[in-house]
Amino acid sequence: MTLTESRPEAEAVAAGDDVRPATQSSAPQWTPPTGLARLLSTGDHLTIGQMYVVFSLVLSGLALTLGMLIGIEQADIDGGFGVFSNANEVFQVFGLYRTTLILCGLVPLFLGLATALIPRQLDASSVAFPRAAAAAFYTWLVGAVTHIVATFSYGGLGSVQAGAAREQSVELSVLSLGLIGVGLLVGSGVVFTTLVTQRPRGMDLLQMPAFSWSMLVATGVWLFSLPVLLANLVISWVDMRGANALGFGGGGAPFEQVAWAFDAPQVFAWTIPLLGITAEVFTAAHRSSPKMFEPIAFIVGAFGFFSFGAWAQSFFDSPDPNAVDAHIVTNEVLFTAFALAIALMVAAYGGWLAFNAYSAGQRPQITPQFALVVVSGALLTAAVVAGVLRVAEPALGVLREADDDIWRGFFDAMDDLEASSLVNGMMNLAVLGGLLAAVAGLFHWAPRLLGRPLNAPLGFLSVLPLAGGAILVGATDVLGGFFDQPRRPFETAGIGQIDALGFVEALNVIGLIGYIAVLGGLALVALNVARSLTLPASTEAHQGEGV
Amino acid sequence: MADIAVGTPLAAPLPRQRTLLVGTVFGTAATLMYFAALLAVYLRERADALSGGGEWIPSGANIQLAPPTVAAWTMLMSVVTMQWAVYSIARDDRTHAIMATALTTLFGLSVVVTTSFQYTEMGLVADESIAAVLIYAISGSHLVMIAIGLVFLLLMAFRALAGQYSSRQTDGFVAASIYWYAVVFVYVVIWTAIFVLK
């Protein structure tokens, strides 16, 4: 007999049964928190990833605004200080631009995408340590906000003028940068552990999607880089504990200690996930899946290996030029070898993309994300070429000795590029390329990340300023380097060395327009995200969207 | 035999994703990299100071070898007790596992006390020499590393008390031991690079 109706309560009582329904209890029902309480207490990987993306986009915008301010200052190089009142303020903003753009913008943006998407790509329920992921996010956020506030309170990573910075604010800037590093390191650990342990049975590492693989390589390289950054900061901070800082915490030394993180080859290490995003978006646009995955896995791994740059810091060099191992770290041969190896990997990566496009046998579907990854790939290639030029001087010296007369102008232009704005251009090209790739990932995975696709026409509208602006920002700095524009705008002594000052100033105005364009593009992306969030959530992935 | 005859189902093996182990290895590798960077700067600065004919440790400082040597032997003894804890939990001997963990914790605490004592005796002032800055940065960081290790050990011991770890699930103890061995390894390197070489 099948029981189709519940027994009347009175009848049950008469039978002496316990009639309390299971759902009724004297204990208060737990209701999930909402609003701010939900965000503060969440362990949901998707929510944490979304918060990373939102805040890192906002902080990227702030970084680009700082870059714009430096651009305004450089539009009239020989006219004294305009936006800023002294060299130390330029130095503070110069340092803050780098720390904010890379450690508060690009890296957390990649980590946010990874935290939100990698469990989906691996068919896992969540990341490996959800509470650690939340703790990492809030550690990073508190560190980022504190770092920015401390720098604007006459802090920053040291001072190039005695008495121009407040000592306690400098200490706070150093400590908060350490906090950022700890947050990013823990976040990297969560992503790395998720990739190693949360794969479904039968999926080996080489069967992971390209983005997951690139994040495995990236977090592996960051694992070895971020602790070195922390060690540099701790040494600076301990030096500041005394009445007089001796060598690591005084003057501009705190910035010098961490400058390797914003220079070649380390700057390429922050962009490793660009390769994974590009591979996925590119092949999806060709309506195919990546073919020959093993070569791309090797290329991404080798790119990561050669981009590890914690060794390339001047504090590992001897101040005594006569010492046998005086330049063990800034050894030109080592730098040249690494730059060439990175260039080779990028060329091989381009070849792999071309092979996949050819294998697909059809024209790509032009989407905003496809346009963005094409431009970001071009920016990375340009950055790598700039990186090779930066270290080409010793090799060219051999040619110069053979015949100096024929290529005199060329040799003169190539002189001392490592101290010129070409290095800034290389960093901007690489980092903005990474930023564009991350935005492409945002478009590509929006249905997974936001629950809704982003608007394509508005997306195309944002591609133009993003791509054009990034090219202008990077290319003008690179070109300025050939005219001996100094690498560090706060070092006014180098202004007299600039060839064709008027032309360089014109380049800087164009670069300034580039900053404004990138900012405009980011604003359009933010508008697109806000617009999509007002639409009802979609349960279907849009065409071409990867998982 | 009787159990098998009546068909008592054998317990299914626990899922062993080794998440905690992999996470701990990641954290330990990051910590080792951190100390590698600190020691690289230390040795570089020391080599420069000595090659220039100057002194490295200020003449007024009193860095004795005895306290750090005692600390180094204490750390090495803690390797034995740590492994004893792992061995015991793998054999469901929870009492010995907790006792060994307590001993390891005690060894760790004694190293903290020894290092603190040495700080009071050294006479090194942070703003008088680069050597002092670096020695405090390195040894202070190691104290923090020990503190993290002690918290890790105590957490695992409490979890073992609650029955979370047994021969079927030893990941927590193995993870704590990996971190602890790194603590010991770093101390031995510090002992050699700073206190023996001076």
Structure tokens belonging to residue B189:
């390197």
User: According to the model, what pLDDT value does residue A17 have?
Assistant: 47
pLDDT for residue A530 is more than 50: yes
Sign of the C-alpha dihedral, residues A525, A530, A535, A541? Answer: positive
Neighbours of A16 (CB within 10 A): 7
* Angle subtended at Cα B102 by Cα B99 and Cα A128, rounded to the nearest 5 degrees: 105
State pLDDT tens for residues A428-486.
999 999 999 999 999 999 998 888 899 999 999 999 999 999 999 999 999 998 888 88
Does the N-terminal peptide bond of residue A486 adopt cis geometry, omega within 30 degrees of 0? no
* pLDDT, position A395: 67
- Chain B: residue nearest A190 by CA? B23
ipTM above threshold 0.85 = yes
A289 in contact with B, Cβ within 8 Å: no
Contact A525, A439 (CB under 8 A): yes
Amino acid type, A242: G
A51-69 average pLDDT score: 95
Which residue of B16, B18, B19 is the best one to mutate when testing the A interface, meaning the one whose CB has the most A CBs within 10 A? B19
What pLDDT, in 10s, does the model give residues A184-228? Answer: 999 999 999 999 999 888 888 888 999 999 999 999 999 999 999
A392 in Cβ contact with A336 (< 8 Å): yes
Confidence class for position A406, pLDDT limits 50, 70, 90:
low
- Determine the residue of chain A that is closest to B136 in CA distance: A238
The pair of structure tokens assigned to A240 is 């500041």
Query: A459, A476, A441: which is closest to A546 by C-alpha?
Result: A441
Could B141 and A318 be called an inter-chain contact, meaning their C-beta atoms sit closer than 8 Å? no
- Do A353 and A399 form a contact (C-beta atoms < 8 A)? no
Length of chain B, in residues? 198
Tell me whether residues B51 and A315 touch, CB distance under 8 A: no
Identify the closest residue of chain B to A318 by CA–CA distance: B48
| Alpha-carbon span B81 to B96, nearest angstrom | 10
Query: Which is higher by pLDDT, A421 or A415?
Result: A421
Structure tokens at B105: 């914790």
Nearest-CB residue to B133 (from A193, A243, A248): A248
The reply to whether residue B41 touches residue A185, judged by beta carbons under 8 angstroms, is no
The reply to whether B133 touches chain A by the CB within 8 Å rule is yes
Nearest chain B CA: its distance from A197 CA (Å): 6
Question: Tens digit of pLDDT for each residue in A4-51?
Answer: 444 444 444 444 444 444 455 566 787 888 888 888 888 899 999 999
Res A3 pLDDT > 60: no
- CA pair distance A190, A184, nearest whole angstrom: 10
Say yes or no: A230 contacts chain B, CB-CB below 8 A: yes
Whether B74 has its CB under 8 Å from any CB of chain A: the answer is no
Which positions in chain A touch B48 (Cβ < 8 Å)? 318-320, 323
Contact B155/A at CB under 8 A: no
Nearest CA in chain B to A235: B137
Assess A382–B contact: CB distance below 8 Å, yes or no. Answer: no
pLDDT higher at A542 or A190: A190
Angle at A418 between CA A339 and CA A237, to 5 degrees: 95
How is residue A264 written in tokens?
């070649």
Chain B: residue whose CA lies nearest to A198? B17
Distances (CA, A) of A466 to A24, A71, A108, A384, A525: 57, 17, 19, 20, 10
Determine contact: A196 vs chain B, CB below 8 A: yes
Phi, psi of B56 (to 5 degrees): -95, -60
Which of A132-136, A256-260, A470-474 is predicted least confidently?
Answer: A256-260
pLDDT greater than 60 at residue A97: yes
Tell whether B56 is within 8 A of chain A (Cβ).
no
Separation of alpha carbons B74 and B84, rounded Å: 15
Half-sphere exposure of A488 (CA within 13 A, CB side): 19
Per-residue pLDDT, A405: 66
Contact A193 B26 (CB under 8 A): yes
Q: Which residues of B touch A189 (CB under 8 A)?
A: 23, 26-27, 30
Of A234, A247, A323, the CB nearest to B51: A323
- Check if the beta carbon of residue A274 is closer than 8 Å to that of residue A433: yes
Mutate to test the interface with A, among B16, B18, B21, B22 (most CBs of A within 10 A): B22
Environment class of residue A162 by beta-carbon count within 10 Å: exposed (0-12), middle (13-18) or buried (19+)? Answer: exposed
Give the mean pLDDT of A282-294. Answer: 85
| Residue indicated by tokens 């997974």 | A448
For B109-145, write each residue's pLDDT tens digit.
999 999 999 999 888 887 778 899 999 999 999 999 9
Q: Tell me if residue B4 falls in helix, strand or coil.
A: helix
The predicted pLDDT at position A314 comes to 73
Q: Does A153 touch chain B (CB under 8 A)?
A: no
* Cα separation, A356 vs A352, whole angstroms: 6
* pLDDT confidence of residue A380: 96
List the beta bridge partners of residue A420. Answer: A486
The residues facing B169 across adjacent strands are B166
- Residues A295 and A209: their CA atoms lie apart, in Å, by 14
Where is pLDDT greater, at B126 or A280?
A280
- Residue pair A444/A545 in contact (Cβ under 8 Å)? The answer is yes
Domains of chain A: 44-533 (1.20.210.10)
Residues B22-62 pLDDT 10s? 999 999 999 999 999 999 999 988 888 888 788 888 888 88
Record the pTM: 0.89
Please give the mean pLDDT across all residues of chain A: 86
Mean pLDDT of chain B: 88
pLDDT at A9: 46
A198 interfaces chain B, CB cutoff of 8 Å: yes
Residue A484 sits at the chain B interface (C-beta within 8 Å): no
Question: Is the four-CA dihedral B57, B49, A256, B32 of positive or negative sign?
Answer: negative
Q: Report the pLDDT averaged over residues A405-412.
A: 66
Q: Distance, in angstroms, between A463 CA and closest chain B CA? A: 38
Q: Do B37 and A185 touch (CB under 8 A)?
A: no
pLDDT exceeds cutoff 80 at A416: no
Give the nearest chain B residue to A320 (CA atoms).
Answer: B48
Does B82 have pLDDT greater than 90? yes
Q: Tens digit of pLDDT for each residue in B141-179?
A: 999 999 999 999 999 999 988 888 888 888 999 999 999
B-chain residues within 8 Å CB-CB of A318? 44, 47-48, 51
Domains of chain B as residue ranges with CATH? 18-47+63-196 (1.20.120.80)
Residue of B26, B51, B136 with shortest CB distance to A320:
B51
Choose the closest CB to B133 out of A243, A246, A318. Answer: A246
CB pairs under 8 A between A and B: 100
Q: Which of B19, B125, B134 sits opposite A128 (nearest CB)?
A: B19
Reference A171, options A156, A149, A192; nearest CA is A156
* Residue A363 reports pLDDT greater than 50: yes
Of A385, A278, A320, A109, the C-alpha closest to B52 is A320
Q: Note whether A457 contacts B: Cβ–Cβ < 8 A.
A: no
